[in-house]
Each structure stands twice: as C-alpha cells, then as structure tokens.
C-alpha cells in the first residue's frame, strides 16, 4: 500500500497580517491548488474567500526577473508532491557525487521525512511572523490617533524557510537551496572549531556577525542554464544582506566541482582555503579536496 503523502503546509494568516509581513520582509504570499502537477499553479494572491479543501496559502520569495532561462522561478516551502523529484535528483550521480550531506542512496521515505520536517519549520517561522504582524495590527487599532508607535521587536527569521526552487507556472520542483549557519570546516583545530560553532549558533537571528553558509542542488533537467547563479545572487541581494543583515557568508564545494565554484565566484565569492575530506564508501570512497569561498557584505555592495 502507498504511504500517505506528507501533509501540505497549514498556515492561517489574515490578509492584513500578510500585507504587513510583505511590507517588512521579502516574503510574498499566494494561494496554490495542490493535488496534481497541472493544478500547482498559483491562484489569486491575497484572496481569502472561496478557498477549497485543496487550496493552500503559501509564502514565497520572488526570484528577480528575468531569470537566465526566462523560467518563472520562486522559492517556497516544500509541497507534498516533491518527494519523487527529490529522490530522482539525489540518486542521480550528477548530483549525488557532488554532495556530502544528504543520505545516499536517498529513499522515498527519507524524502517524505525531510519534506515534513521542512514543512513544520516553515509553519513555525511564518506563525511567528503572523503573530508579530497581529500584535502590530492590534497596537495600531488601540491607538486612537491612528499613529502607531513602531515596535522594537524585529521582523526576522532564522535561516531561510522557503528553500525549494520551483517553477511558478507549473509548480514543478526545480531544486533546493538551504541557508544554515557556517560549520567552520575551515578551522582545523577541533577545540577552536567547537567554540566558534557554539558562539555562532548561540547568536540571535538578525545579528550581523552570524556567519551563514548555503547548500544547493538542482534537478539535472535544469543544469547548465545558469539557474543557481540567479538564485544565489537573488538570495544574497534580497535576503542574506538586507534582511538577515549578515556581514559575511561562506561557501564550500569539491574543488573539482567547477559548476558550483563558478556559480559562487560569479556572485562575488572568493576562494580562501582548501582541505581534504574522506568520502564515504557509498559515494565512491577516496579523498577529495574541498575549496572554501567567502563573501563579505562590503565586497558584495561594492561589486
Ligand atoms: C552546482 C549546480 C547547482 C550549478 O548549477 P547550474 O545553474 O546548472 O550551473 P551551470 O551549469 O549553469 O554553470 C554555472 C557556471 O559554471 C560553469 N561551468 C559549469 N560546468 C563547468 C565545468 N565543468 N568547467 C568549467 N566551468 C563550468 C558554467 O559555464 C557557468 O559559468 P558561466 O556563467 O561563466 O558560463 C548544479 O550543477 C548542480 O546541482 N550540481 C549537483 C549538485 C552540486 O554540485 N551542488 C553544489 C555542491 S557544493
């Protein structure tokens, strides 16, 4: 018997709160009909009425246009229909042998758990933003003069809760973009690395001195079109520097992975460190060189 799909995103955010969130963050909202590939296109934005059982309110990050392929692309939380594309992509040697993180082979069950985990993280992040917005709306209502005092609480999110690159027209899953905090793999001394990790992880989201990193991969059908360069540049210019207020972000790739290194370099990253890593037997074993790259806000703004 087929396993049930992971459940769809469940968010209830009033149109007024959505408008406020979109005013204070780079996120936008639309409604999508889930249930079949053809029915995954967005419906009317911000319409609150007439939502059917299969219609879901979805936050997204627009990817500035034009994209190099003229494909309309957005970043969204995962959808229940994503696991088969994730499984195909992460078992494809063109992707699997360039990555360290995800399990390999990658099963449908792992994909469903991952999609579910990311869906919950997105629900939590947007529930917090919705609460922030409702508090602001309540304060405005209480204010008899209609002049609201600004709240001290920041509009901030920890990381990127919309990590799925998707076609805005068909809903097709195109790739993944994760934005965790830096892992200090460029620090050989273990004690020092643990200390730096602890300090970086303990910082409040929005603190400029947090060092971020990213991981990305595309469905091989979409390789070779410059898509990731477009995604990375947009995430940097609309999210990492202006919204997370980061001063610095680091990247990594196997030195042999020219497409990844070139993608990062074209967005302004510069290589600064190399080390070797033992590769798991499942991924072919042996030793590979890793290159670390970094980009500081000042360099990005200068470019
Ligand atoms: C890395 C990845 C995301 C790049 O995405 P992409 O948008 O398809 O990148 P492209 O193939 O369009 O290439 C980007 C740049 O690298 C260059 N490039 C690609 N392959 C190259 C090669 N073998 N040698 C030299 N340059 C190469 C391209 O010419 C392009 O540069 P340009 O704009 O100056 O012409 C994609 O290849 C992928 O998903 N790979 C598997 C997973 C992976 O490696 N993830 C990153 C782990 S660090």
CA 186 to chain centre: 23
* 48 Cα: distance to centroid of ligand 1 (angstroms): 41
Sheet holding 270-278, edge to edge: 211-213, 248-254, 287-296, 270-278
Tokens of 249: 């972000």
What's the confidence (pLDDT) of residue 57?
Answer: 97
Pocket flag, ligand 1, residue 262 (CB < 6 Å): yes
User: Would you write out the chain's pLDDT as a tens digit for each of its 303 residues?
Assistant: 454 568 999 999 999 999 999 999 999 999 999 875 434 556 544 444 444 458 999 999 999 766 677 789 999 999 999 999 999 999 999 999 999 989 999 999 999 999 999 999 999 999 999 999 999 999 888 876 555 566 667 899 999 999 999 999 999 999 999 999 999 999 999 999 999 999 999 999 999 999 999 999 999 999 999 999 999 999 999 999 999 999 999 999 999 999 999 999 999 999 999 999 999 998 989 999 999 999 999 999 988
Residues 190 and 98 sit within 8 Å (Cβ to Cβ): no
* 84 Cα: distance to centroid of ligand 1 (angstroms): 23
CA–CA separation, 216 and 88 (whole Å): 15
* 219 Cα: distance to centroid of ligand 1 (angstroms): 12
* 46 Cα: distance to centroid of ligand 1 (angstroms): 36
* 159 Cα: distance to centroid of ligand 1 (angstroms): 24
Cα angle for residues 299, 72, 48 (degrees, 5° grid): 105
Go through the domains of the chain in sequence order and give each one's CATH number.
15-302 (3.40.630.30)
What's the confidence (pLDDT) of residue 68?
Answer: 73
Choose among 229, 267, 244: nearest CA to 181: 244
What's the confidence (pLDDT) of residue 148?
Answer: 59
Peptide bond into 194 cis (omega under 30): no
Provide φ and ψ at 14, rounded to 5°.
-65, 155
Residue having the nearest C-alpha atom to atom 45 of ligand 1? 217
Residue having the nearest C-alpha atom to atom 17 of ligand 1? 259
CA–CA separation, 245 and 269 (whole Å): 17
Residues 115 and 102 sit within 8 Å (Cβ to Cβ): no
- Ligand 1 atom closest to the Cα of residue 219 is 39
Residue 70, Ramachandran bin (φ over 0: left; ψ between -120 and 50: alpha; else beta): left
Tokens of 224: 């070779």
What's the confidence (pLDDT) of residue 259?
Answer: 98
């Amino acid at each position: 018997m087929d396993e049930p799909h992971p459940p769809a995103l469940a968010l209830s955010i009033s149109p007024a709160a959505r408008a406020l969130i979109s005013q204070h963050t780079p996120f936008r909202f639309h409604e999508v009909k889930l249930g079949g590939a053809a029915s995954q296109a967005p419906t009317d934005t911000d319409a609150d009425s007439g939502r059917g059982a299969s219609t879901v309110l979805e936050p997204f990050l627009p990817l500035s246009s034009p994209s190099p392929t003229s494909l309309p692309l957005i970043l969204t939380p995962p959808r229940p229909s994503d696991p088969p594309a994730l499984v195909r992509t992460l078992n494809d040697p063109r992707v699997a042998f360039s990555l360290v993180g995800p399990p390999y082979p990658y099963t449908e069950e792992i994909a469903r758990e991952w999609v579910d985990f990311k869906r919950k993280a997105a629900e939590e992040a947007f529930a917090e933003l919705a609460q922030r917005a409702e508090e602001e709306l309540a304060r405005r209502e209480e204010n008899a003069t209609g002049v609201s005092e600004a709240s001290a609480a920041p509009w901030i999110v920890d990381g990127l809760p919309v990590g799925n690159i998707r076609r805005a027209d068909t809903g097709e899953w195109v790739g993944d973009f994760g934005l965790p905090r830096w892992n200090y793999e460029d620090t050989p001394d273990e004690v020092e690395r643990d200390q730096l990790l602890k300090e970086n992880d303990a910082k409040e989201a929005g603190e400029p001195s947090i060092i971020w990193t990213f991981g990305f991969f595309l469905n091989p059908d979409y390789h070779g079109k410059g898509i990731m360069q477009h995604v990375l540049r947009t995430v940097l210019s609309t999210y990492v520097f202006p919204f997370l207020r980061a001063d610095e972000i680091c990247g990594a790739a196997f030195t042999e992975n020219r497409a990844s290194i070139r993608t990062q370099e074209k967005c302004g990253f510069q290589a600064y460190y190399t080390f070797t890593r033992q590769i798991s037997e499942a991924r072919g074993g042996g030793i590979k060189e890793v290159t670390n790259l970094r980009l500081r806000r000042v360099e990005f703004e200068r470019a």
